[in-house]
Amino acid sequence: MPDSLLTLTGVTKRFGALTALNAVSLDIAPGEIHCLLGENGAGKSTLCNVIFGIHPPDEGVMSLNGVPYRPAGPADALRLGIAMVHQHFSLVPDLTVVDNLLLGQARGILDRRACAVRVEELSAEYGLALAPFARIQDLSVGERQRVEIVKCLMRNPRLLVLDEPTAVLLPPEIAALIDVCRRVAARGCGVMLVTHKLAEIKSAATRATVLRGGKTVAVSSNPAEEIGVLVRAMIQRELGPLGHAAEAALGLSDPTPAEARAAERPHDIVAQIDGLSFLDSQGVKRLDNVTIEIGRGEIVGIAGVEGNGQSELSAILSGMLRPTGGLFSVQNTDLTGRGPHDVTAAGVGIVPEDRHAVGCVTAMSVAENMFLGRLRAFSRFGLLRRAAFHRAAADLMQRFDVRASGPGAAFSSLSGGNQQKAVLARELTLSNLAFLVAAQPTRGLDVGAVEAVYGHIREACRRGVGVLLISSELDELLAVADRIVVFYRGRIVGSCPASPAYRERIGVMMSGQPA
Amino acid sequence: MNRRYLPGPGILISVGAVVAAVLLGIVLIALIGVSIGDALDAFVDGTIGSAYAIAASVNRSVVFALVGIGFVFANRANLTNVGGEGQIALGGIAATAVALYGHVAELPLGLSFALPMLAAVAAGALWGGLAGILKTRAGTNEVISTLLLSFIAVWLLYWCVQSNALLRQPMTNSATLPESLEIPDLTKLPLVTADPSLPLNIGLPLTLLIAVIVAMFLTRGTVGLRLRAIGLNPLAARRAGIATERYAVAAMLMAGGLGGLAGALMLQGDQYVLKDGFSSGYGFDGLVVGLLARGSVTGVIASALLFGFLRSGGISMELQAGVPSAVVRIIQGIIVVALAGAVYWIDRRGTSR
């Protein structure tokens, strides 16, 4: 047992009726990479925020190097040598790397040159390649993350907390990040790596703690060998019956080739995307001559780092955005530039990327969300037939296993997984569904829900629905899709069958090089 | 039964805000040096002291209620109509024009008074709809556009009563006032009862009918559901296939139309001549009534009654007890501030968990 750097004993944090953390105990030693595991909602982020001084714990004590640690805010945490990289970066896009680093740290006159020298030292020391005078807006997501890490390292921290750092990275960038973590740890700094992907633990972690429902449910000092135990603790079920997509979501298994699934498929084209382009109001080409054909019962996956035109594509296909060029048709009905109502009427189901912004009205009930677009079926003289309305909703909720207190429950009271199942229920029960566009359908969902979501999508495929699946989770695409099209800067870089054999190639294509 | 449609803590807090404001008002009256007893006597005389006073107060409330219902309707779609004043003015102009020069006085079946009202509704709807179109086509904030359109309407009315080519009565001598002729008797609104000491006109049952219908469609109708979706999340509403822009314009047409109708009731039920200062702040009070109601039509009726009686009592306090009518305005102001505070408090309590 190494000397402890940070020790948490019986930390409890409540938000109203919800106990986000329930008597969590944890210790982090200098020089170790401690992985914090857990599904969405397990309390990982809350724990980070408690450590970083954002939320004071309701019960329990923390000590840093044996001294009681009671931060009044992030400023205290930083002063005492605890640095954190949040899931959402806090960088000013218009400023350079150096200016961003000096923000909030420098007083009086800015010494940009000294800062640039320091950046270069740190870059060399930790293998974090960074150009000090590049503007943030010109950097990739991976590079921006490096800026955040450098921002932390400039303070010579004793503990570096990384909250879900790999979610936004390309596969090679993940490897580089883990390498950085190792180097940081090798200099005696403690690293806490928060993740829900087990593959990362295998390669990096010296120890791991698993949270479930706000409680510590497992601690392992040899995580690479005890993955099975950790998974069971994390999702509270055996690995056996886990669906393929779910395993892929955990980064546990290599997905099996898609060829078997694609064996006998009629080659009718359901949806045709022909030379679609989109110029935004600044004249930037967000989509550039994209052509994809989706066949009956086929799942076409769109891979790529986020922000490479996927959002624009799904917005155009759902009728929310008018393309500046090209055609989109479903079953020979031209839908180019038509509104959402027409798109739905033509049999296109949409699972929007941003559930809360576009997919639902969180302040309304489950039933209202399910049938907002189909109210006419439940109206008489303009008045809603509430009983029939709720019956129909209850029926859908049962078929799609949407767990809520009832059809009248507020949509916001549902968990992310149940919200997504409700959205799927709505979109998959369109009477003439022929084509489904699912953008990031499993984002923020726990493993069980991931499985359910893909189960429903596969079921729709068997009925002949063509699916366009947009996801930044390459492993999920490999597990679910039939073929994969890779996006980079709004263009299609290449495509290939969804087989793990192509993983490397896809990774290369995601960085913009045709393979 | 959905809890949303039952009076919740929101109503109680609104009532609390009003009570606190009235108490402050009494303190204010005392500070001015007017005897509280005299002031209260005058207030009672002007509000419930006689059948006539009650009827006059109710007729005022009806105007507030119409503007308030329109506000609540549009606000369901998260649109804020602050243009009641202008919509009333335009309604007044239209009703006067049709009543005086539309040859309607001899028409049967109540058309003599109904046609000027319809013209007023159309004119008010035009004014509201204009703001709706500006919002959906050009993205102009409807708070700004309805407010500015109000000024235009109020000055249009001024022009109408000043210009002989428009609605000003023929000049017979240099003392002829800048106002219209009195509208023909048959275009005035009939009374509900034959008793002239209780001059309640048909505006009251008409408004109650409108209130019931609007309340029903807002709480149980598909229109209400769609408007609510648009108000809560316009993107998701659009994605669900709702023609959000058309609904937004329609909601503003509705709000404006009710404002126009309020103008017709004021002209045909009470003032009978159109003159400068016709709308005299009724539109802005109606806006406050709508805000005070916190989205419920029942709440609109309650706060419209409050404001109607408050204004009657205020006029009476001014005439009988010498309390400046400004004090009543101040009380109304305090109500708005107290209410805004109460809303802030409710919201904070709701989210700080």
Place of tokens 């031209």: A334
Region at B74 (left for phi over 0; alpha for psi -120 to 50; beta for the rest): alpha
Chain A environment of B247 (Cβ under 8 Å): none
What digits encode the pLDDT tens for the residues A248-280?
Answer: 666 655 555 444 454 445 568 999 999 999 998
Give the C-alpha separation, A34 to A470, whole Å. 32
How many C-beta atoms surround the C-beta of residue A127 within 10 A?
13
B194 pLDDT band (50/70/90 cuts)?
confident
Chain B residues with CB under 8 Å of A378 CB are 222
Predicted confidence (pLDDT) at residue B5 exceeds the cutoff of 60: no
* Average pLDDT of span B93-101: 92
B109: left (phi over 0), alpha (psi -120 to 50) or beta: left
pTM: 0.76
The whole-number pLDDT of residue B8 equals 55
**Gap between the Cα atoms of A366 and A408, Å rounded:** 6
Closest alpha carbon within chain B to A381? B221
Q: A181-195, A244-258, B81-95 — which one is most confidently predicted on average?
A: B81-95
Burial state string for B191-230 with b = 16 or more CB within 10 A and e = fewer than 16:
eeeeeeeebbbbbbebbeebbeebbebbbbbbbbbbbbbb
How far is B117 from B96, CA to CA, in rounded Å? 9
Residue of A nearest to B241 (CA): A341
pLDDT at A448 over 90: no
Contact present, A209 and A36 (Cβ < 8 Å): yes
Q: What does the pLDDT average to over A162-178?
A: 81
> In chain B, which residues touch A (CB < 8 A)?
2, 216-217, 220-223, 225-226, 228-229, 232-233, 235-243, 353
> Does the ipTM exceed 0.85?
no
Neighboring chain B residues of A384 at a CB cutoff of 8 Å = 220-222, 225
**Can you tell me the mean pLDDT for A13-18?**
79
A92 compared with B125, residue with greater pLDDT:
B125
Please say whether the beta carbons of B58 and B231 come within 8 A. no
Query: Is the predicted pLDDT of residue A290 greater than 90, yes or no?
Result: yes
Burial B151-163 (b: 16+ CB within 10 A, else e): eebbeebbebbee
B65 pLDDT more than 60: yes
The residue count for chain A: 515
* Among chain A residues, CA nearest to B353: A16
* CB proximity A380 to B under 8 Å: no
Interatomic CA distance for residues A311 and A288, integer angstroms:
13
User: What is the Cα–Cα distance from A440 to A311, expressed in whole angstroms?
Assistant: 10
- Of the two residues A444 and A309, the one the predictor is more confident about is A309
The larger pLDDT score, comparing residue B48 to residue A228, is at B48
* A442 backbone dihedrals φ, ψ, rounded to 5°: -110, 10
Partners of residue A21 on adjacent β-strands: A13
pLDDT value at A2 more than 80: no
Q: Is A359 on the interface with B (CB under 8 A)?
A: yes
E strand or H helix at A302: strand A299-303
Least Cα distance to A305 among A440, A106, A177 occurs for A440
Identify the weakest region by mean pLDDT among A128-142, B126-140, B210-224. Answer: A128-142
Helices (H), A72-140: 74-79, 97-102, 112-126
Residues of A in contact with B238 (CB under 8 A): 320, 339-340
**Region class of B235: left (phi > 0), else alpha (psi between -120 and 50), else beta:** alpha
Three-state SS for B136-193 is HHHCCCHHHHHHHHHHHHHHHHHHHHHCCCCCCCCCCCCCCCCECCCCCHHHCCCECC
* Interchain pair A379, B222: CB under 8 A: yes
pLDDT of residue A241: 44
Grade residue A37 by pLDDT with cuts at 50, 70 and 90: confident
Run of H or E including B38? helix B36-47
Q: What angle do CA A198, A199, A202 make, to 5 degrees?
A: 90
Q: How confident is the model at residue B353 (pLDDT cuts 50, 70, 90)?
A: very low
Rounded to 10°, the helix B111-133/B142-162 angle is 140
Q: Please name the amino acid found at residue B243.
A: A
Nearest to A358 among B232, B239, B241 (CB): B239
Say how many CB pairs under 8 Å bridge A and B.
79
B7 vs A71, more confident: A71
**Strand A435-439 versus strand A348-351 pairing type:** parallel
Residue B91 confidence (pLDDT): 95
pLDDT tens by residue, A456-506: 999 899 899 999 999 988 888 888 999 999 998 899 999 988 888 888 888
Instruction: Over range A133-149, report the average pLDDT.
Output: 85
For residue A501, what are its two tokens? 């054999």
Which pLDDT score, from 0 to 100, does residue B233 have?
92
What mean pLDDT, rounded, does chain A reach?
85
Helix, strand, or coil (residue A466): strand
Q: Return all residues near A477 (Cβ < 8 A) that are at least 6 apart.
A: A301, A302, A303, A469, A471, A484, A498
Query: Would you call A243 an interface residue with chain B, using a CB distance cutoff of 8 Å?
Result: no
pLDDT at B4 over 50: no
Q: What is the mean pLDDT of residues B86-102?
A: 92
Residue A83 phi, psi (nearest 5): -120, 150
CA distance from start to end of chain A: 48
Token pair 């126009």 is at which residue? B260
- Please, are residues B109 and B135 in contact by the beta-carbon 8 Å criterion? no
Give residue A165's pLDDT.
84
| Structure confidence by residue, pLDDT tens digits, A313-344 | 999 999 999 999 999 999 989 999 899 999 99
> Residue B131 contacts by C-beta under 8 Å, 6 or more apart in sequence?
B81, B83, B140, B142, B145, B146, B149, B252, B256
A17 vs A56: CA distance, rounded Å: 17
pLDDT at B351 over 90: no
CA distance readout (Å), A125 to A146, A152, A156, A181, B20: 13, 14, 13, 12, 67
DSSP-assigned states of every residue in B252-263: HHHHHHHHHHHH
Strand pairing category for A466-470 and A483-488: unpaired
* Cα-based angle A252, A254, A259 (whole degrees, multiple of 5): 145
Arithmetic mean of pLDDT, B283-305: 88
| Alpha-carbon gap, residue A201 to A184, rounded angstroms | 16
* Average pLDDT of span A392-399: 91
pLDDT of B240 over the 50 cut: yes
Outline where B102-141 has alpha helix (H).
Answer: 111-133
A317, two tokens = 């296909």
Residue B232: closest C-alpha in chain A:
A361
What single string gives the DSSP state of each residue in A358-371? II--TTSBHHHHHH
CA distance B10 to A21: 33
A377 touches B at CB < 8 Å: no
Residue B349 has a pLDDT of 63
Q: What is the pLDDT of residue B328?
A: 73
CA atoms within 13 A on the CB side of A157: 25
For residues B251, B252, B257 and B258, what is the CA-based torsion angle, rounded to 10 degrees? 70
Q: What percent of chain A has pLDDT over 90?
A: 25
What's the pLDDT score for residue A487? 92
Q: How far apart are CA A36 and CA B281, in angstroms?
A: 63
Sign of the CA dihedral running B291, B292, B296, B298: negative
Q: Alpha-carbon dihedral of residues A82, A88, A89, A91, nearest 10 degrees?
A: -130
H or E element, residue A504: helix A503-510
- Is the model's pLDDT at B10 over the cut of 70? no
Over A206-268, what HEC string results?
A: CEEEEEECCEEEEEECCHHHCHHHHHHHHHCCCCCCCCHHHHHHCCCCCCCCCCCCCCCCCCC
Closest CA to A193 of A423, A55, A38, A406: A38
Q: Tell me the per-residue pLDDT of A57-94, one tens digit each, with 9 for 90 and over.
A: 999 999 988 889 988 888 888 888 899 988 778 888 88
By C-alpha distance, the chain A residue nearest B226 is A372
Note whether A373 contacts B: Cβ–Cβ < 8 A: yes
d(CA A348, CA A319) in angstroms, rounded, equals 10
